[in-house]
A and B are shown apart, each in its own frame.
Chain A
Amino acid sequence: MLVSRPLTATKTILFLIIGITTIVSVGMVILGHLVDKKIESAMILHDFFTAFAIMSGAGVIGVLVFSSQRHHDAVNVIRMLSIAAAVSVFVILITGTIGYVEYRLSDPDSAKSKIKATFPYAHSPMFETMEYMGLLGTMWAGLIAYLAWHYKEQMFTNPAIKNMMVALISLAIMYALFISLMGIVPTKIASVQG
């Protein structure tokens, strides 16, 4: 006999995370191949996962600070969002490296050459700041994801652990916004294209 189970907030978020990221990723890769714009599709995924990681972090802070749900559900939501953010940061680095290989070509038509000719400051130090500071993200997101899995309900019951999580995530979001800004300025001059 089939027993209908209620669609909880935890399940809804899990389905949305897996569904949306899969549809967007597969869709962009297929679209990129169909119109022969592979680099562009990688860069769109790069931007998508950057926004997704920042939103996941904001979501964790929201649940930690404002949750009125049972702790068990809230803990599961935080765990999923923190894993989603950590995976997103890894995807950001992979897609970023794909774009970087194209960006740094010595070809006069490459994005780097155009940016250096138009506004050299946008390449060095701005673009380089994004490249190198962005590398801190994988370890940082991994740390937050592990702490969320380790501390479980203590994130709500222990003020020191709750404050530590909020501080680590808030700071990570500030870093991500700064790093994104360092990348947005150069790509407004010349975007990475294949």
Chain B
Amino acid sequence: MEKAYSVKTTGKVAAVFIATSVSILMVGVLTPLWVHLPQKWLVVYTPAAGYSGVFFYPTLAWAVLWAGLYFTLGRKESVGTVKRWMTVFLASLIVATAIIMASLPWMPFPW
């Protein structure tokens, strides 16, 4: 099983994993920033307030980073393994989820 997950990934796959992981982390960082320390620059679309920035900046970063890395790493036949990129993605997801949940008042429970 260990060997199976050591399958090499191409530069194109590495590019999309890196771009996605970074943008997911950005959502995790920008959420508490808007909730606890509202910044004007996060208001991209006034009717939606800071929510628009928390959506806009990570999505923009995802697209730009993916395009940039696609052209930088795209020709490489081997950049990491399936196991490595899944670990990076899951780590970014866990960290972002933990930050978002911690920044919202889940405790104490309402009962």
Contact = CB atoms under 8 A, between A and B. Distances in A.
Interface residues of B, number: 40
Contacts, number: 84
B75 to A, nearest CB: 15
A125 B103 CA distance: 9
B35 A128 contact: yes
Category for how many chain A residues contact B:
20 to 34
Given A104-B49, A131-B51, A135-B54, A125 B104 contact: yes
Contacts of A158: 7
Interface residues of B: mostly helix, strand, loop or mixed?
helix
Given A104-B49, A129-B104, A147-B13, 20 more contacts: A93-B55, A97-B48, A97-B55, A119-B110, A124-B104, A129-B101, A132-B27, A132-B31, A132-B100, A135-B58, A139-B23, A140-B20, A143-B17, A143-B89, A146-B16, A147-B16, A150-B12, A150-B13, A160-B82, A171-B93
Nearest first, the 5 closest Cβ-Cβ pairs linking A and B are A125-B104, A121-B110, A101-B47, A160-B7, A143-B20
Interface of A: 93, 97, 100-101, 104, 119, 121, 124-125, 128-129, 131-133, 135-136, 138-140, 142-143, 146-147, 150, 158-161, 163-164, 167-168, 171
